[in-house]
Amino acid sequence: MKKENEGKKILTRRLFMFGGFQTVLFSLLAGRMYYLQVIESEEYSLLADENRINIRLLPPPRGKILDRNGQELASNQRNYRVIIIPEQTKSVDKTLNSLQNIFPLGKYEITKILREVKKRKGFVPVTVAENLTWREFSRVNVNSPDLPGIQSEIGETRFYPFGDAFAHVIGYVGIVDSKEMGDEPLLSLPGFRVGKVGIEKSFEKKLRGRAGISRVEVNAYGRIIREINRKEGDSGDNIKLTLDSNLQAFISKALVNKSASVVVMNVHSGDILSLVSSPSYNPHSFNVGISNYEWQRLISNPKNPLLNKAVGGQYPPGSTFKMMVALAAIENGLISLNHREVCRGSIELGEEKFHCWKSEGHGVVDMLSAIEQSCDVFFYQIAKRVGIDRIAKMSKLFGLGEKTGVLIPSERRGNIPTRNWKKNEFGKSWQLGETLHAGIG
């Protein structure tokens, strides 16, 4: 009996201790639940929101480029495009193959997309196609459940109303490359474009604008359920040029199939009214991504359509340079305005003969009549007296050999040769015959 009572006491003590342990454990759990649900509820609610809410940058409308009268030379138009987020699909290849049933997507394009996918992180969207028709865009949306990782977007693309007429001045935009990426998040957006050449490049920061922000709710697969709110970005600034679009179009048409350039300037204000280089190219080709065939056609063209001949070409100036020779001679006291030479159609220097454009010669000419009739023989003789170094010095006083500051990135400096220049460049001495050639431009 005594042993039985002792056993009951031990059992009761153990039950009491176990019950006490349960009570303490329950109290701890209840306290923790209270702490998480009441005290820390706001923080965890915020974390939950962060897991289902994405912040997306909205590309701002690019600023327009206008002519002197407000005519649009570069503007924006609607762009129906498709992007892919690699981490949201098990097989990028299969998804792209499925898209081939909706709109044309060749092997070259697919290879290009896959190459871009490998360069970027899985969560970074990659552009698949742009400038789709409304029908193609609608079919993508209808079939979206069967296209994992694919999203459709309506954005903007650059439009050049005058086509190739302004290509060498306006330039074009293109996809951001790795060298241009930098730290600005806006530049990593799929399909975002920046100015590559011309005014588009010179005024890139002003034209670009500032990005907007969209807060969207997404599901577990990253698909957008709804937009919570958005703040539109700031459009880029409009850039107004001194060019006259009607004059530019007229000159471009006149130069079709010719290799030439024309610059029209208001001599009173210095305004450039027209700047045309022919042949030109279609800026839209670079905007959407130029094909290898078209690129090869451009670079193999002997007339060099990619070169802006007006500011990037380096050519002999021609007879306009004769005035530099005349001024150098007068400035150094070598001749007067009344100085005369006899033009018989050519002069001889050693065994070489230097011809005038007028084979029968101009006869007796002074400074003014030589300039008026562009007599080569007169300026051969003057150049011999002046020498190349003094001609170069006078030319530089007029800014020749320097950039004009026209704000087109492809502009190159001209070259006014001197004795030292030839020695440094070619290791050879300057010859008198070269001075005669320079004397007529």
Determine whether 410 is an active site residue: no
Strands of 232-385, DSSP E? 239-240, 260-265, 272-278, 340-343, 346-349, 352-355, 363-366
Does residue 229 come out as left (phi exceeding 0), alpha (psi in the -120 to 50 range) or beta? beta
User: Could you give the CA distance from residue 413 to residue 397 in angstroms, rounded to a whole number?
Assistant: 15
Q: Which of 319, 346, 369, 410 is catalytic?
A: 319
Number of residues written out for the chain? 441
For the four alpha carbons of 241, 243, 245 and 251, in that order, the dihedral sign comes to negative
For the four alpha carbons of 301, 303, 308 and 314, in that order, the dihedral sign comes to positive
Which pair of tokens denotes residue 135?
Answer: 């029908």
Residue 166 · residue 160 · CB < 8 Å: yes
Give the other-Cβ count within 10 Å of 259's Cβ.
16
* CA 273 centroid distance within chain: 23
Which pair of tokens denotes residue 218?
Answer: 């997404």
Catalytic residues: 319
